[in-house]
């Protein structure tokens, strides 16, 4: 039996914190990145009473700062981890089925170059094996291109060392939105999820962990949450919370930083996503998206604060050099950079291994107090990670509970916005909405990008926008196109306030819409208006408004090279 459905409404945060305190939870999850979100969904859908808290906005940690790909596990093939390739391939297919608006196939070109990571034969055989192990659909199986075909299809590639190309499929996503849709689905199963609520201390009874002190970042009020089982899913902060539990062992995190830069697409007009060799033996991605191309990533040891990692000049130079070596005519320079982001990988330390050699596998640690910690892993594997953690939780609860818990069934749960019978229905849904809303002034492009963010939930946003557009008193001082843009933005913001716990303009512009990354000028132009709307809708105090606005300024700075002033 699952709990009463909850809305992830900004207006319900405090109610949910109160609710967590009223009656002990079966499970308290600390961390609202993809790992914690997946655990909350798995547990709530098996019938557990679940609470989840994050000290920042949901996904504000690593889960909004990745390469935004649901990998098929090609790199595991090189390491001969065939079982992992199989598991990752299966996961990718499940995610595509459960959130087809958000996890979409993307053709990826692997140029074969002289003395590159993969030769022509190895690329062909490797991709063939990868297709079989990962269970790739016939239509998406690898194709090999000759040198001539590759150069013709991607004329920017350096031709003197080009030997051919392998075309295969990766799946693209929006990491923060995926986290959000998982959390919304968990809430539909009754999970109490609250952002801006930090665990500051653990609570124990006879040496066993039985809850936590949770402090609301806005009111500073402390909540004493009791739970039968507590899971630490705090990514780069994992060891800080294990320290608080006195259970930090020899197995520790090793943090590495990875950055991405975004340039206008016409400065690097690649036709496909490209996974290319870098001279130091690493590989990098160039991925076209929303009128831009983003490039990443780096992998360097990181000792700073995981809360606000920033782009640094050496990292940016590394990526610019990598691009200019493979696409010499582009001649990208720092001034071409439109935006970027930096993320911290929570890897598990292994003696004698360099950053890029460390395994991306996840690991579960138990502590003497009973705290369960999950560390490492990838966005791609979040569902299986959640299953492994919740299996442990349920095993523990079964000893004390009289009621049975269902086995994991998240492979069959469509995520919020993803309730399509088949991925092919997504374009049909876009066509239907376009037919309904085009003559009300909303463009097909706007509808498409909304559907790729909100899936079936887009209908609610468009209906609210159409209603406002029909009201002549709304925003009449603007030109017709600006009026439509403004009204649409306002409807989208309202949806995220009501359903996605938006609290600040950064939440909206960075993690719900990615506008600050891929449509930076529009984001900056709308920031004041959106900030005022949020302050007004939430009835925020002047102090909270200043804090929220300052956070946005910090985020603007962190998503741009310091030398390139706005």
**Rule CB under 6 A: which residues touch ligand FAD?**
30-36, 53-56, 60-63, 65-69, 71, 198-199, 233-237, 241, 258, 297, 343-345, 377-380
Nearest-CA neighbor of 276 among 326, 332, 329, 328? 326
Q: What is the three-class DSSP state of 16? A: helix
Phi, psi at residue 446, to the nearest 5°? Answer: -65, -40
For residue 95, the minimal CB distance to ligand FAD (Å) is: 10
Backbone angles phi, psi at 262, to 5 degrees: -120, 130
**Owner of token pair 């909304």:** 450
β-partners of residue 287 are 294
246 or 427, CB closer to ligand FAD?
246
For residues 231 and 372, the answer to whether their CB atoms sit within 8 Å is yes
Return the number of the residue (308 or 313) whose C-beta is nearest ligand FAD. 308
**Between residues 74 and 491, which has the closer beta carbon with respect to ligand FAD?**
74
Residues 6 or more apart whose CB falls under 8 angstroms from that of 352 comprise none
Nearer to ligand FAD, 55 or 490 (CB): 55
Closest CA to 263 of 173, 155, 314, 339: 339
CB of 342 to ligand FAD, least distance (A): 8
Rounded least distance, CB 226 to ligand FAD, Å: 16
Closest to ligand FAD by CB, 341 vs 429, is 341
Nearer of residues 485 and 503 to ligand FAD, judged by Cβ: 503
Show the tokens assigned to 437.
């809303």
Q: How many CB atoms lie within 10 A of CB 208?
A: 13
**Minimum CB distance to ligand FAD, residue 452 (Å):** 17
- Closest CB 35 distance from ligand FAD, rounded Å: 3
CB of 426 to ligand FAD, least distance (A): 21
User: C-beta of 36: minimal distance to ligand FAD in Å?
Assistant: 6
Q: How far is the CB of 143 from ligand FAD (least distance, A)?
A: 23
Burial of 524 by CB count in 10 Å (0-12 exposed, 13-18 middle, 19+ buried)? middle
Exposure of 469 in the CB half-sphere (CA atoms within 13 A): 24
Q: Looking at beta carbons only, is 326 or 389 nearer to ligand FAD?
A: 389
Minimal distance, residue 142 CB to ligand FAD, in Å: 20
Taking the C-alpha atoms of residue 254 and residue 385, their distance in angstroms, rounded to an integer, is 19
> How far is the C-alpha of 428 from the C-alpha of 443, rounded, in Å?
16
Determine if the peptide bond prior to 345 is cis (ω within 30°). no
Q: Which of 122, 133, 130 is nearest to 168 (CA)?
A: 130
CB of 547 to ligand FAD, least distance (A): 16
What φ, ψ does residue 532 adopt, rounded to 5°? -60, -40
Q: Nearest distance from residue 183's CB to ligand FAD, in Å?
A: 11
Question: For residue 231, which of 252, 202, 253 has the smallest C-alpha distance?
Answer: 202
Give the nearest distance from C-beta 369 to ligand FAD in angstroms. Answer: 16
- Tokens 């098929």 belong to 72
* Smallest separation (angstroms) from ligand FAD to the CB of 317: 17
d(CA 127, CA 74) in angstroms, rounded, equals: 8
Pick between residue 25 and residue 491 the one whose CB is nearest to ligand FAD.
25
SS3 of 328, please? Answer: coil
CA separation for the pair 53, 193 (Å, rounded) = 6
Instruction: Please tell me the distance from the alpha carbon of residue 76 to that of residue 92, in angstroms, as a whole number.
Output: 14
Measured in degrees and rounded to the nearest 5, phi and psi for residue 391 equal: -55, -40
Non-local (6+) Cβ contacts of 250 within 8 A are none
Is the Cβ of residue 68 or residue 101 nearer to ligand FAD in the bound state?
Answer: 68
In the complex with ligand FAD, which residue's Cβ is closer, 300 or 443?
300
User: How far, in Å, CA of 179 to CA of 175, rounded?
Assistant: 6
Angle (deg, nearest 10), helices 444-454 and 480-499: 10
**Of 197 and 484, which CB lies nearer to ligand FAD in the complex structure?**
197
| Between 109 and 450, CB nearer to ligand FAD | 109
Q: Please identify, using beta-carbon distances, which residue of 129 and 198 lies nearer to ligand FAD.
A: 198
Would you say 261 and 296 are in contact if contact means Cβ atoms under 8 Å apart? yes
Nearer of residues 231 and 461 to ligand FAD, judged by Cβ:
231
Largest pairwise CA distance in the chain: 71
d(CA 492, CA 512): 10
Residue 480 beta carbon to ligand FAD: minimum distance, rounded to whole angstroms = 40
């Amino acid at each position: 039996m699952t709990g009463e459905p909850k809305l992830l409404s900004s207006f319900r945060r405090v109610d949910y914190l109160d609710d967590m305190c009223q009656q002990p939870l079966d499970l308290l999850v600390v961390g609202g990145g993809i790992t914690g979100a997946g655990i909350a969904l798995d547990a709530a859908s098996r019938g557990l009473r679940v609470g989840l808290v994050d000290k920042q906005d949901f996904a504000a940690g690593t889960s909004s700062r990745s390469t935004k790909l649901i990998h098929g596990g090609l790199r595991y093939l090189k390491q001969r981890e065939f079982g992992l390739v199989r598991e990752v391939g299966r996961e990718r297919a499940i995610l595509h089925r459960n959130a087809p608006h958000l996890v979409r196939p993307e053709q990826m070109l692997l140029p074969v170059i002289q003395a590159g990571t993969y030769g022509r034969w190895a690329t062909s055989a490797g991709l063939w094996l990868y297709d079989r192990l990962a269970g790739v659909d016939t239509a998406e199986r690898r194709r090999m291109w000759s040198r001539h075909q590759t150069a013709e299809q991607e004329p920017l590639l350096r031709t003197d060392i080009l030997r051919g190309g392998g075309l295969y499929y990766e799946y693209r996503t929006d990491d923060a939105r995926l986290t959000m849709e998982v959390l919304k689905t968990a809430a539909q199963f009754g999970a109490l999820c609250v952002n801006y609520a930090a665990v500051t201390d653990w609570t124990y009874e006879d040496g066993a962990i039985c809850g936590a002190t949770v402090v609301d970042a806005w009111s500073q009020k402390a909540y004493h949450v009791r739970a039968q089982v507590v899971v630490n899913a705090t990514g780069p902060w994992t060891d800080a919370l294990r320290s608080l539990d006195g259970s930090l062992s020899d197995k520790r995190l090793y943090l590495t930083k990875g950055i991405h830069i975004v340039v206008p697409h016409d400065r690097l007009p690649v036709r496909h996503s490209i996974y290319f060799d870098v001279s130091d033996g690493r590989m990098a991605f160039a991925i076209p998206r929303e009128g831009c191309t983003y490039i990443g990533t780096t992998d360097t040891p990181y000792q700073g604060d995981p809360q606000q990692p920033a782009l640094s000049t050496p990292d940016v130079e590394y990526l610019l050099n990598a691009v200019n070596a493979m696409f010499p005519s582009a001649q990208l320079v720092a001034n071409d950079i439109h935006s970027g982001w930096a993320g911290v990988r929570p890897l598990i330390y292994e003696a004698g291994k360099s950053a890029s050699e460390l395994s991306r596998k996840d690991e579960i640690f138990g502590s003497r107090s009973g705290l369960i910690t999950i560390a490492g892993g990838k966005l791609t594997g979040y569902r299986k990670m959640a299953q492994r953690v919740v299996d442990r939780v349920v095993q523990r609860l079964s000893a004390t509970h009289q009621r049975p818990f269902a086995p994991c069934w998240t492979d069959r749960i469509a995520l919020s916005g993803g309730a399509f019978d088949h991925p092919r229905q997504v374009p049909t849904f876009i066509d239907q909405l376009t037919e309904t809303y085009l003559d009300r002034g909303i463009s097909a492009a706007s509808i498409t990008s909304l559907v790729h963010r909100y899936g079936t939930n887009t209908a609610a946003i468009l209906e609210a926008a159409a209603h406002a557009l029909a009201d002549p008193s709304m925003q009449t001082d603007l030109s017709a196109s600006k009026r439509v843009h403004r009204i649409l933005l306002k409807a989208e913001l309202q949806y995220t306030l009501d359903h996605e716990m938006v609290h600040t303009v950064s939440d909206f512009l960075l993690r719900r819409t990615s506008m600050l990354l891929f449509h930076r000028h529009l984001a900056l132009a709308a920031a004041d208006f959106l900030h005022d709307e949020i302050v007004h809708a939430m009835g925020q105090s002047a102090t909270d408004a200043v804090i929220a606005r300052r956070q946005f300024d910090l985020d603007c700075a962190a998503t741009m090279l310091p030398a390139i002033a706005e």
